[in-house]
Amino acid sequence: MAALRKKRADAAPASAMSTQGILPVYNNQLVAMMSDLQEIVTWWQERKASLHQANDASRKTERTTFHVEQRWIDAIRRQADLDGLTYTQIVNEAFRRYFEGPSEERAIRSS
């Protein structure tokens, strides 16, 4: 006569298993980080666009001299080091934001 098989014990009781895939603890952490994550994504997209523009051979660059406050020169160098970009890329991005931004912001800045 064949021996009866033992019933296999479940690894975890059904009540302890999640059917959602992500534990609520992680959902709460993601919700708390959402604004930071959106900021990172925005920064990354702008950086990619800036890099793409810098690699675009049709965009001619020219060396010129402007007199600006030392703090802006320091900021350009610092940001280029942080982002791994060239000074040209940083300056072009700053100009792009200024000149392509809403015109009412420029009016406020100039007053």
pLDDT, tens digit, 9 for 90 and up, residues 9-53: 555 555 555 556 666 667 788 888 899 999 999 988 888 887 777
At residue 54, does pLDDT exceed 60? yes
pLDDT score of 77? 96
> Once rounded to an integer, what is the mean pLDDT over residues 55-71?
84
Chain centre distance of CA 71: 25
For residues 109 and 40, which has the higher predicted lDDT (pLDDT)? 40
Percent pLDDT > 90 in the chain is 30
Percent pLDDT > 70 in the chain is 65
Amino acid (one-letter) located at 38: Q
Q: What is the DSSP letter of 14?
A: G
Token pair recorded at residue 4: 């009866």
Token pair recorded at residue 50: 């800036």
Q: Give the total residue count for the chain.
A: 111
Token pair recorded at residue 66: 């402007």
